[in-house]
């Protein structure tokens, strides 16, 4: 279960970042293993269900000058908080981006999410635009903060109702260990998808731990 106090600490850390990341400080290539502690709330007109679990994944990014390509994949199991059938959650995304300035990235691409049970699979697809802000916490520091927001321009879901909208936020802090290529990141995200007329809403809250290498 994700504690909101942790989320507040992470998001507050983003607001204190005041120094611009220099181009030579940002790695041109990074790959990381990701551990996510997720809480999922699913609401319909008749019922609200909550489940939680741990997701394991991999993320990678390549940047050349102002352009970048990033991808992420994760999966894991969710257990209903009140007991019942478990669910497998699978997520993946592929984003193209550009950095108009060193502190700001603009991204676009698809993200897919699937809930898999013995009864079948519910699959969401989001085509998102994103904006990401990064800043060092102090001049010359290897500690940095970030904040990212996104909105789904369109999407689809294999349900009787049509896709409504999707949006989310993520914030956190990162650390480049001096004299090594090792990077650590702690983040928190809130993500929401809706069907038309709010007939179904799915919200994910996730505490993210990532360990990777880059240059």
Buried b (16+ CB within 10 A) or exposed e, 46-61: eeeeebbbebebebeb
Q: What pTM was computed for the model?
A: 0.85
| 3-state secondary structure (DSSP) of residue 2 | coil
Please state whether 82 falls in left (phi above 0), alpha (psi between -120 and 50) or beta.
alpha
**Cα(59)–Cα(61) distance, integer angstroms:** 7
pLDDT exceeding 70 applies to what percent of the chain?
A: 87
Each of the 215 residues of the chain gets a pLDDT tens digit; together they read 444 444 443 444 444 344 444 444 455 899 999 999 999 999 987 889 999 999 999 999 999 989 999 999 999 999 998 877 899 999 999 999 999 998 999 999 999 999 998 888 999 999 999 999 999 887 767 999 999 999 999 999 998 789 999 999 999 999 999 899 999 999 999 999 999 877 889 999 999 999 999 98
pLDDT exceeding 90 applies to what percent of the chain?
A: 69
The structure tokens listed for 98 are 């550009």
The boundaries of the domain holding residue 95 are 4-214
CATH code of the domain containing 70: 2.40.128.100
Task: Please count the structural domains in the chain.
Answer: 1
């Amino acid at each position: 279960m994700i504690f909101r106090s942790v989320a507040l600490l992470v998001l507050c850390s983003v607001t204190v970042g005041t120094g611009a990341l220099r181009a030579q400080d940002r790695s041109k290539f990074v790959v990381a293993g990701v551990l996510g502690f997720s809480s999922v709330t699913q609401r319909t007109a008749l019922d609200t269900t909550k489940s939680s679990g741990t997701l394991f994944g991999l993320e990678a990014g390549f940047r050349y000058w102002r352009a970048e390509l990033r991808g992420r994949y994760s999966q894991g199991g969710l257990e209903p908080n009140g007991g019942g059938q478990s669910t497998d959650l699978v997520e993946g995304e592929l984003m193209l981006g550009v950095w108009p300035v060193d502190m700001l990235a603009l991204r676009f691409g698809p993200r897919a999410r699937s809930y898999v049970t013995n009864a079948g699979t519910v699959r969401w697809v989001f085509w998102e635009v994103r904006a990401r802000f990064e800043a060092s916490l102090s001049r010359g520091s290897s500690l940095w903060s970030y904040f990212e927001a996104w909105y789904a321009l369109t999407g689809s879901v294999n349900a009787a109702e049509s896709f409504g909208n999707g949006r989310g936020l993520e914030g956190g802090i990162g650390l480049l260990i001096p004299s090594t290529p090792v990077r650590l990141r702690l983040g928190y995200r809130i993500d929401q998808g809706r069907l038309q007329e709010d007939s179904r809403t799915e919200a994910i809250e996730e505490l993210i731990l990532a360990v990777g290498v880059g240059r």
